[in-house]
Structure 1
Amino acid sequence: MNKKTLPPPPDFDSPEEAKDIIHFLWNKLAELEDRLNQNSRNSSVPSSQQPLHNKAKNTSSNRKKSGKKQGAQPGHKGHCRLLHPVEDSASVEQYLPNKICHCGGCVIPNRKPYKRHQIFDLPDISYTLVEHQIFKGECSWCGDKHQAELPESVPDVQMGPNLHSFIAIQATQHHQSIGKIQSMLKDVFQLNFSTGAISAAQGRVTEYLADTHTQIHDTVKVSKLIMADETSHQRNNDKRWMWAALSNNAAFFQINSGRNQHAAKRLLGEAVSHLLVTDQYSAYKYIDESKRQLCWAHILRNVIAIEESVCPENQKIGEKLALIAHSVFRCHHRYIEEKITESQYYRRLRGLRKSWLHWLKLGSYQCSKRYRGRCRNLIADDAMVWWFMDDPECPLTNNAAERVLRNYILVRKCCYVTRSYRGDQFRERMFSLIETAKLQQVSAYKWLREIVEHHMLKVDYQAPVFFSVNCRQ
């Protein structure tokens, strides 16, 4: 294998040529230094992938340490667990004071206890087993043979609906690999199933979730506000992408082979008629700028990168842009908290927007080559940067979409790659159900169990109300 070697040093015939070479190398060194200093504060590099010596600092430009100790502060309102209602299944032990006082009198206990102390514990966990015995028979007159058949409500597999749902939830919401699920079933429930049987159970759940996954997709696409984001996904040795689209009451996940405009259209549709909040990625450029708000969290990271550049000409412009971005966040939060009036809010935003464009124009020709393009792109996308001024309900960031992807990223780190197209479908459909259940404040396990029971036991199932409500909008 040939080792890479440096080219010979350049020759120069005059001091002017030498200055040009030094200037070129200096700019190259500055660009490499900026790349080396990338972290989660000034780029899209995840905090888990950056080295310890380059951990991101606090993103706030004026936030200082309070000097207070960790934990609850004096005057903090305490929180305690509420007492659980005493049901028929609860066991109650009552303790009465001594019947005779030390003076010889009779002690009469109060009707209500002065203190209630509850202890929660788990019962002995086991499994239930139902054996279905099917018989054959022979007619005593004609000799014809007859055999019974399993009812349609009896599954033709060894696992029941609850076990299917438990395996699927453990593999996604609780970040358990197939091997760990196999170990848990053996240790906790005394059940022995092969990894192939557990994988097959996940495949059946994938089939059962097909209609629900389509309904969630339809619900998201007709929502008035959508936030979108994407992260890497790997099937065997092939790199793919997990895309997420989020509305106020539903979250849809979809794995695509690429991170391109075709994948964005599969996720959001050819024509987006409602407001979309995304980062500056080019795959979303087919969407009209009147329907798109750029994420200010991504914009802030971009201008912080300019501020932290090693080149002095970048630092001043980046410092001003970062200050304006922080001011936008602070102004928006104060307006939401009703600390400033609507007229004050819009007057301040107009002033910030004017200053923002001024410093971007300076940066478009004064910054180094690495950052000139960022300034020019922000100028070109100015309408999408400030779209939230036209709609008070428009969020400044797509952080909500990044948060729903966080659970998937943890599974990706714990369970590694998928092995097949069915594995991709399992993850995208399960995470769509789990994150939608969180938004609806319902139990994902209970919802999944109802779907599995409907397909395995032929039990009637009614889709959640929000599906039909959103589809009529």
Structure 2
Amino acid sequence: MVEPAGNAEIAALRAALAAAEQRADLAELKAAQARAEAARVVAEKTDGEAEIARLKLEIEKLKRSLYGQRSERKAKLLDQLEFELEDLEAAATEDELAAEMAAARTTPVKAFTRKRAQRRGFPDHLPRERVVVSAPEACQCCGSDHLVKLGEDVTETLEVIPRQWKVVQTVREKFSCRDCEKISQPPAPFHPTPRGFAGPNLLATILFEKFGQHQPLNRQSERFAREGVPVSLSTLADQVGAATVALKPLHDLIADHVMAADRLHGDDTTVPILAKGQTRTGRVWTYVRDDRPFGGIEGPAALFYASPDRRGEHPRAHLADYSGILQVDAFAGYNGLFDPERRSEPIRPAFCWAHGRRPLFELADIERVRKKKGKGGAISPVALEAVRRIDEIFAIERDLYGLPPDQRLAERQRLCAPLVEELHAYMMIEREKLSRHAPVAKAMNYMLARWTGFTAFLEDGRICLSNNAAERALRGIALGRKAWLFAGSDRGARRAAFMYTLIVSAKLNDIDPQAWLADVLARIADMPQSKLGELLPWNWVTQAVTKAA
């Protein structure tokens, strides 16, 4: 019997579709293998770079011990090499884990495993202290040695123990079934980092000391050794890299939360970055979401990025998908964000009154003028009057903190708008009397040329008068530069920005960053993705409290 022509065409189409699907599956498999192979090559490259850096450091240390070089320059060179090694070790661990995850998606490609130095054994001492004063051997009254203990008086003295070390042994017992002889054993618990030896509290200590307290890993390693627990610099750097990978899902949630805000504070600061024996000036950028000034209920958070320079392309890349209000200073690099033709919903600028006030205040500060020009220096009465008027506006704003946006806007229109209008008229009149090169005229032009951005707070109750939220977020970096001097590489600066996001966000929510990191690292490995939001700083409740509840 002859098959109808229509059925034959359908069968041919089905066969062609099956062949196309098979080819697509094969192409997808090849692409996955290529990605896994590329990740393995990258991991091998960074591992080789870390090994070269380690050998360079060992050579310089040997030279110093052999030839007795104790110069300050040689000491700085060793510090630079240690910083470089620290960043390369952490980067190598990140790439190794990335290669493992890529290889896990495809069978033919073998995962890359780094060669690690053999760790020393853990100390087996645990401190226990009970101080007993020696009892008298004879009666103090009659000299008899027939003494019977009646009890004891204990005097408690408060003392501080900086750190206690212990080794936690997780025991999984094996049982054999008498009927089927099958061996049963509970599964191994999740560890904060793959192949890690450090518990969550130790990991949190390492991370917070490095990024929150500005103690580089080489100093931490020296301190651990003095406490009787020798841990090498490369081992600590390895754990930092592994912890970065483990915490990335939480970091991504914080980043999404920040970029979903209607209003952001933005700012940047300098970060010296090591480059071939010298340092160059990079930048760390922050974007802060804080809705508390206008009574918002969403948790505050800060997102940090690092870049090798201050070109405007960096904030444009950071905020490529953002549309809302951006509170910043008048840095020209932000101008591209405010272009109406940039997108259908351009970012709206709101400039910082604290930045506008600062150059005027410097001209009105008696002590500053006296130090610069000697006893004969004089302050500017125009600048002093402008500062006084701006301070009146700030005084009103302090009383409006926490009010809902509509109520805040209404009070601003009633109380602040007349003062702002009078300030504008005053500066316009006084500027006409001055040379355009006069310092006071330049200070006033900073605000007058951007008056629409400065007065945006009179049109939207969500806008703050200043950008202090972003400046406070960057304060820790400015303080830490004197401790860690510079970042070891561009990648090290990006890793620091990653950790600043976590630590500063915890501080904004008034929780202890170290305790939070310890709890997160203890729970994140076996927590479903759908429940990961419970670990965010504004939702966080410690595991101990959860169990008690």
TM-score normalized by the length of structure 2: 0.53
* Counterpart code for 2:396: C
- Assess, with a 3 A threshold, how the Cα gap between structure 1 residues 415 and 344 changes in structure 2: closer, same or farther: closer
- Assess, with a 3 A threshold, how the Cα gap between structure 1 residues 287 and 176 changes in structure 2: closer, same or farther: same
Structure 2 gap ranges (5+)? 1-155, 173-186, 291-299, 340-346, 540-549
Residue correspondence of structure 1 range 100-249 to structure 2 within 5 A = 122=161, 125-128=164-167, 130=169, 153=190, 155-188=194-227, 190-236=228-274, 237-248=279-290, 249=300
Which secondary structure state, in structure 1, belongs to the residue aligned with residue 488 of structure 2?
coil
Which secondary structure state, in structure 2, belongs to the residue aligned with residue 127 of structure 1?
coil
Any idea what the Cα deviations from partners look like across 1:433-453, whole Å, max 9, x if unmatched?
111112234442344335544
Tell me which moved more, 175-184 or 244-253: 175-184
Query: Shift in Å at residue 277 of structure 1?
Result: 1.4
Query: Shift in Å at residue 242 of structure 1?
Result: 0.7
Alpha-carbon RMSD = 3.9
- Assess, with a 3 A threshold, how the Cα gap between structure 1 residues 224 and 467 changes in structure 2: closer, same or farther: farther
- Assess, with a 3 A threshold, how the Cα gap between structure 1 residues 271 and 126 changes in structure 2: closer, same or farther: closer
Rounded Cα–Cα distance in structure 1 between residues aligned with 2:354 and 2:162: 47
The equivalent residue for 2:437 is: 369
Q: Tell me, yes or no, if the aligned pair for 1:202 and 1:426 is still in contact at 8 Å.
A: no
- Assess, with a 3 A threshold, how the Cα gap between structure 1 residues 341 and 126 changes in structure 2: closer, same or farther: closer
The equivalent residue for 1:281 is: 331
Which secondary structure state, in structure 1, belongs to the residue aligned with residue 215 of structure 2?
coil
The equivalent residue for 1:255 is: 306
Which secondary structure state, in structure 1, belongs to the residue aligned with residue 380 of structure 2?
helix
Q: Tell me, yes or no, if the aligned pair for 1:360 and 1:375 is still in contact at 8 Å.
A: yes
Which secondary structure state, in structure 2, belongs to the residue aligned with residue 285 of structure 1?
helix
The equivalent residue for 2:391 is: 326
The equivalent residue for 2:358 is: 301
- Assess, with a 3 A threshold, how the Cα gap between structure 1 residues 287 and 321 changes in structure 2: closer, same or farther: farther
The equivalent residue for 2:455 is: 386
Tell me which moved more, 385-394 or 227-236: 385-394
Q: Tell me, yes or no, if the aligned pair for 2:457 and 2:463 is still in contact at 8 Å.
A: yes
Query: Shift in Å at residue 413 of structure 1?
Result: 1.7
- Assess, with a 3 A threshold, how the Cα gap between structure 1 residues 410 and 373 changes in structure 2: closer, same or farther: closer
- Assess, with a 3 A threshold, how the Cα gap between structure 1 residues 344 and 293 changes in structure 2: closer, same or farther: closer
Q: Tell me, yes or no, if the aligned pair for 1:219 and 1:467 is still in contact at 8 Å.
A: no
The equivalent residue for 1:416 is: 485
Which secondary structure state, in structure 1, belongs to the residue aligned with residue 236 of structure 2?
helix
Query: Shift in Å at residue 170 of structure 1?
Result: 1.3
Any idea what the Cα deviations from partners look like across 1:325-361, whole Å, max 9, x if unmatched?
11211232345599x9987753442332222222332
Which secondary structure state, in structure 1, belongs to the residue aligned with residue 284 of structure 2?
strand
- Assess, with a 3 A threshold, how the Cα gap between structure 1 residues 368 and 448 changes in structure 2: closer, same or farther: same
Query: Shift in Å at residue 169 of structure 1?
Result: 1.3
Rounded Cα–Cα distance in structure 2 between residues aligned with 1:337 and 1:217: 24
The equivalent residue for 2:127 is: none
Query: Shift in Å at residue 192 of structure 1?
Result: 0.5
Residue correspondence of structure 1 range 434-453 to structure 2 within 5 A = 434-453=503-522
Structure 1 gap ranges (5+)? 1-116, 134-149
Query: Shift in Å at residue 301 of structure 1?
Result: 0.6
The equivalent residue for 1:98 is: none
Rounded Cα–Cα distance in structure 1 between residues aligned with 2:396 and 2:335: 28
Q: How many residues align?
A: 335
Query: Shift in Å at residue 428 of structure 1?
Result: 0.9
Any idea what the Cα deviations from partners look like across 1:367-400, whole Å, max 9, x if unmatched?
4515444433422311111111122342211112
Query: Shift in Å at residue 469 of structure 1?
Result: 11
- Assess, with a 3 A threshold, how the Cα gap between structure 1 residues 391 and 165 changes in structure 2: closer, same or farther: same
Query: Shift in Å at residue 467 of structure 1?
Result: 6.6
* Counterpart code for 2:280: D
User: In the alignment, does 2:358 pair up with 1:358?
Assistant: no
* Counterpart code for 2:217: I
Query: Shift in Å at residue 126 of structure 1?
Result: 2.3
Rounded Cα–Cα distance in structure 1 between residues aligned with 2:400 and 2:514: 39
Q: Tell me, yes or no, if the aligned pair for 2:251 and 2:498 is still in contact at 8 Å.
A: yes
Any idea what the Cα deviations from partners look like across 1:260-284, whole Å, max 9, x if unmatched?
32111233x1354222211122222
Query: Shift in Å at residue 414 of structure 1?
Result: 0.9
Any idea what the Cα deviations from partners look like across 1:145-198, whole Å, max 9, x if unmatched?
xxxxx969464244344322221111122222223211332334x210112222
* Counterpart code for 2:354: A
Any idea what the Cα deviations from partners look like across 1:72-97, whole Å, max 9, x if unmatched?
xxxxxxxxxxxxxxxxxxxxxxxxxx
Q: Tell me, yes or no, if the aligned pair for 1:227 and 1:400 is still in contact at 8 Å.
A: yes
Q: Tell me, yes or no, if the aligned pair for 2:208 and 2:514 is still in contact at 8 Å.
A: yes
Which secondary structure state, in structure 2, belongs to the residue aligned with residue 181 of structure 1?
helix
Rounded Cα–Cα distance in structure 1 between residues aligned with 2:201 and 2:165: 13
Rounded Cα–Cα distance in structure 1 between residues aligned with 2:535 and 2:523: 19
The equivalent residue for 1:265 is: 316
- Assess, with a 3 A threshold, how the Cα gap between structure 1 residues 400 and 343 changes in structure 2: closer, same or farther: closer
Q: Tell me, yes or no, if the aligned pair for 2:509 and 2:537 is still in contact at 8 Å.
A: no
Q: Tell me, yes or no, if the aligned pair for 1:388 and 1:395 is still in contact at 8 Å.
A: yes
- Assess, with a 3 A threshold, how the Cα gap between structure 1 residues 184 and 391 changes in structure 2: closer, same or farther: same
Q: Tell me, yes or no, if the aligned pair for 2:356 and 2:443 is still in contact at 8 Å.
A: no
Rounded Cα–Cα distance in structure 1 between residues aligned with 2:337 and 2:419: 26
Rounded Cα–Cα distance in structure 2 between residues aligned with 1:312 and 1:163: 56
The equivalent residue for 1:406 is: 475
Query: Shift in Å at residue 286 of structure 1?
Result: 2.6
Q: Tell me, yes or no, if the aligned pair for 1:226 and 1:275 is still in contact at 8 Å.
A: yes
Rounded Cα–Cα distance in structure 1 between residues aligned with 2:399 and 2:354: 17
Query: Shift in Å at residue 460 of structure 1?
Result: 5.2
Rounded Cα–Cα distance in structure 2 between residues aligned with 1:203 and 1:341: 45
* Counterpart code for 1:243: W
Query: Shift in Å at residue 220 of structure 1?
Result: 0.8
Counterpart among 432, 441, 445 of residue 501 in structure 2? 432
Tell me which moved more, 388-397 or 399-408: 388-397
The equivalent residue for 1:57 is: none
* Counterpart code for 1:409: A
Q: Tell me, yes or no, if the aligned pair for 2:307 and 2:490 is still in contact at 8 Å.
A: no
Rounded Cα–Cα distance in structure 1 between residues aligned with 2:502 and 2:537: 16
Query: Shift in Å at residue 454 of structure 1?
Result: 5.8
Q: Tell me, yes or no, if the aligned pair for 1:314 and 1:367 is still in contact at 8 Å.
A: no
* Counterpart code for 2:312: Q
Q: Percent identity?
A: 19
